[in-house]
Amino acid sequence: MGLSEELNIEKDLRDSFITIGVFDGVHLGHKHLAKKLIESAMKNGKSPGIVTFKNHPAAVINPRFQPNFLTSFEAKMDLLKDTGVDFVSAITFDQEVADLTAKDFLGLLKNRLGMKGLVVGPDFQMGKNREADTARLAILGSQLGFDLEVVDVKKNGRNQIRSTMIRSLISNGDVKNASVMLGRKFSLEGSVITGMKRGKSLGFPTANLKTNKDIAMPANGIYATVATIAGDRYPAATSVGTNPTFGGKEQTVETYILDFDKNIYGQSLSISFYEKLRNELTFNSVDNLIAQVKSDIVEVRKLNQSGELQ
């Protein structure tokens, strides 16, 4: 399917105002932009819409680029639709799209989506070799017949809310501040797979999560989390790490769900991260490990009883 076909949407448009981007994580900055888009579209009697990408443009421009997404594509689409826009159009960024000039790409948006307004952030660039910044886009708007609106980047205190900042916080284990910028708890989703079953042998059976390698991963450590299975939420202690006490090498995500004894192998599991409890440690005995795990579980219970895991 070509770009023109992907831009066809199942909706009758009365002309549109559009924003464009990867929107990784659909964080508070993205929601701020979507809110401004909707306000401008409604004021002008147009349909607000979002154009995003099924893949990361950087992966096409730089073959060595390794995606590190804050959400899956499916989750991103759901979050974008939840912003309240009239439509979300997802396109494939391939070499054909990479070679389009900004004028040609915007012309397609005019023809396919009836674009009458473009709403972007101050650092937005597009077109072959990112040739069009906001100054150039203003000129193209005059030529092609659309209005350009530049929206300031939303801040959290002194920090601009950006996907790169959130990714950095997560990689450092600061899931609490990452969640503040996301506007929701950072989470990992996947299916429950069979692990080494060490947790069960120690008296703490864990659910091992199979994650997508392209999804951002928190720093190794133990976290207070909430596990969601079939819509039900449970407090949990989650280990992200390599099990160094047992000489492990591969990073795993293992969750001990408090007061839970159901068989959930093969089921979908979502883990929401609330707080990092401690770094990953290497213990000199199994007894010391068990004592620490018991202490971690006590901390999770305290947080849950205080209402902090709601």
Are residues 195 and 136 both part of a single domain?
Answer: no
User: Are residues 114 and 212 part of one domain?
Assistant: no
Same domain, 7 and 143: yes
Residues 213 and 119 in one domain: no
Within this chain, do residues 59 and 102 fall inside the same structural domain, yes or no? yes
254 counts as catalytic: yes
Residue with tokens 């005995």: 285
pLDDT at 6: 75
Of the CA atoms within 13 Å of residue 68, those in its CB half-sphere come to 15
Going by C-beta distance under 8 Å and a sequence separation of 6 or more, which residues neighbour residue 158? none
The edge-to-edge listing of strands for the beta sheet with 47-53 is 87-91, 47-53, 16-20, 115-120, 147-150
- Is 0.95 topped by the overall pTM? no
Enter the tokens of residue 120.
Answer: 């972007």
Helices within 194-305 (DSSP H only):
198-202, 286-305
Whichever domain contains 118, its CATH number is: 3.40.50.620
Kindly state whether residues 200 and 265 are assigned to the same domain: yes
Please count the residues of the chain.
310
> Residue 218 maps to which CATH number?
2.40.30.30
Q: Domain count of the chain?
A: 2
C-beta of residue 89 within 8 angstroms of C-beta of residue 54? no
Write down the catalytic residue from 5, 131, 254, 308.
254
Say whether both 223 and 149 belong to one domain: no
The stretches of 198-259 forming alpha helices (DSSP H) are: 198-202
Do 201 and 121 share a domain, yes or no?
Answer: no
- Asked whether the beta carbons of 253 and 238 are under 8 A apart, the reply is yes
The whole-angstrom separation of Cα 215 and Cα 271 is 13
In a domain, 169, yes or no: no
Best CA proximity match to 132, nearest among 167, 94, 93, 106: 106
Residue 310 belongs to a domain: no
Each residue's pLDDT expressed in tens, for the chain with a length of 310 residues: 567 677 766 666 669 999 999 999 999 999 999 999 999 999 999 999 999 999 998 888 888 888 899 999 999 999 999 999 999 999 999 999 999 999 999 999 998 899 999 999 999 999 999 999 999 999 999 999 999 999 999 999 989 999 999 999 999 999 999 999 999 999 999 999 987 666 666 778 899 999 888 999 999 999 999 999 999 999 999 999 988 766 677 889 999 999 998 999 999 999 999 999 999 988 888 889 999 999 999 999 999 999 999 8
| Spatial CB neighbours of 155, under 8 Å, sequence gap ≥ 6 | 161
Distance (Å, rounded) from C-alpha 281 to C-alpha 272? Answer: 22
